[in-house]
Amino acid sequence: METRAHRELKRLAVQYLRDVGACAVATEVRCPISRYRFDAAGYRDTGCLPGSDRRRRCEPRTLAVECKQSRGDFLRDVAGIDQLLRRQRALHAMRESIERERIPREEPELCIHDSSLFPELAEYDCARSRLPGYRRVLRLIERIELRLQRETKFERLRRYRLADELYLAAPRGMIRRHELPVGWGLLECPPHWLDFRSHHDRLDEPPMLEVTVPAPAPALSSRGATRARLLRNIAAAATTAALQPRAMA
């Protein structure tokens, strides 16, 4: 049974999609080639823009949002999650230590010129590092992330590119950045927005989701046929929702 908090997250997701220019938006949208449903999905292109803005070209894009109100909801489908997350945190700590201490000392040529006025704050192009220990840590992190996401809903939706942009929507701080599935962005709202007992404390706050981690684009571009199928499913879901009150009357 859907909770009030989950319904509120979906409502905020719909508002976010409208705010970023989607002209077709719906909830409970069937995925184009999967048994799954998106909690919310939207479509935008140049024709969706106001008349004065149509001179700015806007490529057709589909956006999908999955709403997660609790960590249990987020991690439910992953076996052995606690142990894997502990190992993942340890590896990320090792990666950060190497990037902070060894790379500047052993690979000074990777320093990005003019990245800082102060040498101790200079940035380094760590992606080009050839330190064997660093490359090994990166491989281990990648393997764990694949184990965390393998055969989960998040990974399948990304693998088949069922939308151009994929987002998770959650209370702020619930999903750590290193836990975010590959190919997904993150939208967050203050946790108390989902606590209806504190409704009187938030009347003056704008109800909105903020982009904490942008969805990677255009790396996750959907196929044209898949995009058209999702647009059709958005229209079908919106029609169903519009007719529902009449059917219940």
φ and ψ of 63, to 5 deg? -125, 135
Q: How far apart are CA 197 and CA 190, in angstroms?
A: 14
Q: How far apart are CA 148 and CA 179, in angstroms?
A: 9
Give the CA angle between residues 214, 217, 218 to the nearest 5°: 175
Q: pLDDT digits over 180-229, tens only? A: 887 899 999 988 878 765 554 555 566 689 999 998 866 567 888 999 99
Write down the domain spans for the chain. 4-77+152-248, 81-144
Strands 184-189 and 24-30: unpaired
Would the pLDDT of 81 be above 60?
yes
Q: Tally Cβ neighbours within 10 Å of residue 127.
A: 7
Q: pLDDT digits over 47-70, tens only? A: 766 555 555 567 889 999 999 998
- pLDDT cut 70: percent of the chain above it: 79
Q: pLDDT digits over 108-153, tens only? A: 888 887 656 666 667 888 889 999 999 999 999 988 887 766 556 7
**Cis peptide, bond prior to residue 190, ω within 30 of zero:** no
The mean pLDDT of the chain is 83
pLDDT at site 247: 42
How much is the CA Rg of the chain, to the nearest whole Å? 21
For the segment 231-245, the average pLDDT, to the nearest whole number, is 90
Torsion, Cα 215 220 225 230, to 10 degrees, reads -20
